[in-house]
Structure 1
Amino acid sequence: MSGNDAHPQHPIMPSEAGTPSIFDRFATAVGDHVSQAWFFCLCVLIVVVWAPTLTLTDLDTWQLIINTLTTIITFLLVALLQNTQKRSDAAMQQKLNAIADGLADLMGALHSDERPLARDRRELLAAVGLENHESSD
């Protein structure tokens, strides 16, 4: 095995993550804005301003307009927020894997021939999906 193959399943460290794409940055920015109180107040204001327009159109058209707008906005926001949540979950998993990997390496360095610690190390590696991890020592 070459020197570069020491960690074939080495978890990606949070500091090793690449630059997010334009879409990822956009989704994060939108998620940051729509999760604030002012955005909710803006939505309430839109509904309050829209409500009196019933007098300008018939009921069916009035309902169709708000239903169409809310459906479109909801669809787009769900897609953006799902992207943000997926990346957040992946980042959290990477951090947990890095912690577990470091702990497993520490346990490996300390365990020598102590059976309970060796068993605990194997259980930790198996629990986080790092069963085939090869230590660099």
Structure 2
Amino acid sequence: MKDSPWFARFATRISHLAGHPITFGAAAGLIVLWAAIGPFAGFSDAWQLTVNTATTIVTFLMVFLIQSTQNRDTAALQIKIDELIRATRTARNSLLDLEDHSEEEIRQIREEYEKLASKARSRGNRMET
């Protein structure tokens, strides 16, 4: 399924805002304010329910927004890596769709590269193909 352009822009913008230090400060400030109101509210159930409900709703919605942004970022990164593999003469083009392989196939390929890295380290030189 394809993201709608407005939702993609919205999710990206909200994800970036959520990760901003000012947003963290504002959220921390709201928690401090909520805690300060506690004695005046008698630490009532309604006082507790306010922060519990707000944080649950925000967390629930942020999971989907951040996942949408992460999916797009991952897809773009995968395309860039695929292009580098395709453009490199000595690269293994069979790795272009590695993300679609089974966990076992990926584990086997990783082991091959770990062996190559170990050999290169023992010789003190760059990795060889």
Give me the TM-score of the superposition, normalised by structure 1: 0.62
RMSD of the alignment, in Å? Answer: 2.1
The gaps in structure 1 that reach 5 residues or longer are 1-19, 108-119, 131-137
Larger RCO of the pair (alpha carbons < 8 Å, separation 6+) = 1
1:29 is aligned to 13
Q: Distance in 2 between matches of 1:102 and 1:57?
A: 67
Structure 2 residue 70 is the aligned partner of structure 1 residue 102: no
For residues 39 and 68 of structure 1, the distance between their equivalents in structure 2, rounded to whole angstroms, comes to 19
Q: Deviations over 1:31-87 (max 9, x none)?
A: 111111100000011011111222225532211111000000011111111111111
Unaligned runs of 5+ in 2: 99-129
Larger Rg: 1
CA–CA separation in structure 2 for the residues paired with 1:125 and 1:33: 38
Amino acid at match of 1:127: L
Alignment of 1:1-137 (within 5 A): 21-54=5-38, 55-103=40-88, 107=89, 124-129=92-97
- Paired with 1:57 and 1:73, the residues of 2 have a C-alpha distance of 25
- Superposition misfits of 4+ residues, deviation over 4 angstroms: none
Query: Cα deviations across residues 91-118 of structure 1 (Å, max 9, x unaligned)?
Result: 0000011111222xxx3xxxxxxxxxxx
Partner-residue secondary structure (3-state), 2:64: helix
CA distance in 2 between partners of 1:63 and 1:129 (Å): 49
How far, CA to CA, are the matches of 2:43 and 2:67 in structure 1? Answer: 36
Q: Number of aligned pairs?
A: 95
Percent of residue pairs identical: 34
Q: Normalising by the residue count of structure 2, what TM-score does the alignment of the two structures yield?
A: 0.66
Letter in 1 for 2:93: L
